[in-house]
């Protein structure tokens, strides 16, 4: 699969007041051909893969790939999500 089409972007969950970015609230949003149109797959370094709704991304903050790498502090993320 073309990685440019797979990765939608890197995000921080909607944070509660006073909450800071951490490896527990970042994720990679993924487009997968097997997912229904409005659904996506989420990969979080502290939770693995899960499903989600694309509308949820509007409540989150997009971050750069480098920021995701910095926050995840070397926790495992599949290589193809970081190309």
- pLDDT tens digits, 32-72: 766 667 789 999 999 999 998 899 999 999 999 999 999 99
Distance CA 35, CA 9 (A): 17
What's the pLDDT score for residue 83? 87
Residue with the bigger pLDDT between 74 and 75: it is 75
Q: What is the pTM of this model?
A: 0.86
Q: Which residues contact 42 (CB under 8 A, 6 or more apart)?
A: 27, 28, 29, 30, 49, 50, 51, 52
Task: Please tell me which residue, 25 or 17, carries the higher pLDDT value.
Answer: 25
Residue 7: per-residue pLDDT = 94
């Amino acid at each position: 699969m073309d990685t440019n089409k797979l990765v939608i972007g890197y995000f921080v969950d909607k944070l509660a007041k006073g909450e800071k970015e951490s490896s527990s609230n970042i994720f990679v949003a993924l487009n997968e051909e097997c997912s229904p149109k409005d659904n996506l797959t989420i990969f979080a370094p502290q939770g693995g893969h899960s499903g989600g709704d694309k509308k949820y991304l509007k409540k989150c903050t997009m971050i750069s790939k480098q920021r995701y790498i910095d926050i995840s502090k070397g926790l495992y993320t599949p290589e193809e999500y970081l190309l």
